[in-house]
Amino acid sequence: MATEMGQQPDVLSGLVGRRAALLRELRAAIPSDIPGIILVARGSSDHAAIFGRYVLELATGLPVALAAPSLHTLYDTKPRCKGFLAVGVSQSGRTPEIVTVLERLVAGGAHAVAVTNDPSSPLGRSASVVIELGAGDERAVPATKTFTAQLVAFAILAEALGAVPWSARDWATLPAVVQLMLNDPHPAVAVAKDISPSVGLLTVGRGFMFPIALEAALKLKETTSVLAEGYSAADLRHGPFAVVQRDFPVLSFSVAGPAGRDIEDLTRWLKEERGAHVLRVSDGADADLALPGDLPETLATIPAAIRAQQVAYELALCRGLNPDAPAGLTKVTPTS
């Protein structure tokens, strides 16, 4: 896991370096009059797809939905999606359920894009255009380099389809920012030691940081077996905050922007009214895990994901566990 985390600057550099070619290919393959977008994913890829939903809706103004794979594979739903864009996301491109759903959406009239490491995989062959992640083999069960590459892939897809709040300069900056995060593991070590005795914790974000909170919770569960649950700040206010008692750990994700202000309000309330032990992944001065302040909110999700990976890795080591091979888990989960 540590090796694959360390490969992320090179993986992202390669993907960013192919951005212009990918933009041309995507624009040529996707009609300009699509009525909506459907995303198909599971696991970590599902969290990347939630980021994709946010960034694609922002760029296009079109409705973006996450497919319910079970409706296709268990209930034999016949999709009617003529003209839609369907995006299938899988690290290996071999998860049977994701391949099946994408094929059914294509049969229902959708244009297909695959986001995968292997263009020759069944998923890649099901699509008219592939965003090849270029992350190579990922041997550790917890997805790291593939996940951040998927975030970049969705951002490039959004850029191909509409107006986005970042620039070529931001893309050029990104790999170095990721390297900066990887060069700075000590805050994650401190946070891991801090939460090591805990049997559970919450992760929270809003807007573009919401899927990062979900991914952080998954990484913590996968690598350490801690009972971690991820929430949107808005949803946490609707009842789940009741589990937060004095000194209960909450890992929050935010950067400057509209959603950042809401996270700050929520975490302040959790500390003052519930006695929560809040640990901040933020570009603010009081951050426990610092993020750079020179990326737009949308792309700051990527260094935030690095911080989540670091905490999960270090917490596994604190607990004497092997983060590369969590008990009972495999790299490809053959859901159907």
- Residue boundaries of the structural domains of the chain: 2-164, 174-318
Is CATH 3.40.50.10490 the classification given to domain 174-318? yes
Strongest mean pLDDT among 177-191, 222-236, 248-262: 177-191
The reported pLDDT for the residue numbered 247 is: 84
The reported pLDDT for the residue numbered 188 is: 98
- The residue among 133, 142, 186 whose CA lies nearest residue 324 is 142
Q: How does pLDDT run across 1-31, given as a tens digit for each residue?
A: 999 999 999 999 999 999 999 999 999 999 9
CB burial of 202-223 (b: ≥16 within 10 Å; e: otherwise) equals bbbbbbbbbbbbbbbbbbbbbb
CA 9 to chain centre: 16
Q: What is the mean pLDDT of the chain?
A: 94
**pLDDT greater than 90 at residue 250:** yes
- The length of the chain is 336
The reported pLDDT for the residue numbered 280 is: 97
The reported pLDDT for the residue numbered 335 is: 59
**pLDDT greater than 70 at residue 303:** yes
Contact assessment for residue 286 and residue 280, using Cβ atoms and an 8 Å cutoff: yes
**pLDDT greater than 60 at residue 331:** no
The reported pLDDT for the residue numbered 12 is: 98
- The residue among 300, 20, 297 whose CA lies nearest residue 177 is 300
**How confident is the model over 88-101, as a mean pLDDT?**
95
Q: How does pLDDT run across 37-88, given as a tens digit for each residue?
A: 999 999 999 999 999 999 999 999 999 999 999 999 999 999 999 999 999 9
The reported pLDDT for the residue numbered 84 is: 98
Per-residue pLDDT band for 248 (boundaries 50, 70, 90) equals confident
The CATH number assigned to the domain with range 2-164 reads 3.40.50.10490
pTM: predicted TM-score of the whole model, two decimal places: 0.95
Per-residue pLDDT band for 119 (boundaries 50, 70, 90) equals very high
**pLDDT greater than 70 at residue 216:** yes
Per-residue pLDDT band for 333 (boundaries 50, 70, 90) equals low
**How confident is the model over 151-161, as a mean pLDDT?**
98
**pLDDT greater than 90 at residue 165:** yes
**pLDDT greater than 80 at residue 240:** no
The reported pLDDT for the residue numbered 2 is: 96
**How confident is the model over 299-315, as a mean pLDDT?**
98
Strands of the 129-132 sheet, one edge to the other: 64-66, 37-40, 85-89, 111-116, 129-132
The reported pLDDT for the residue numbered 328 is: 58
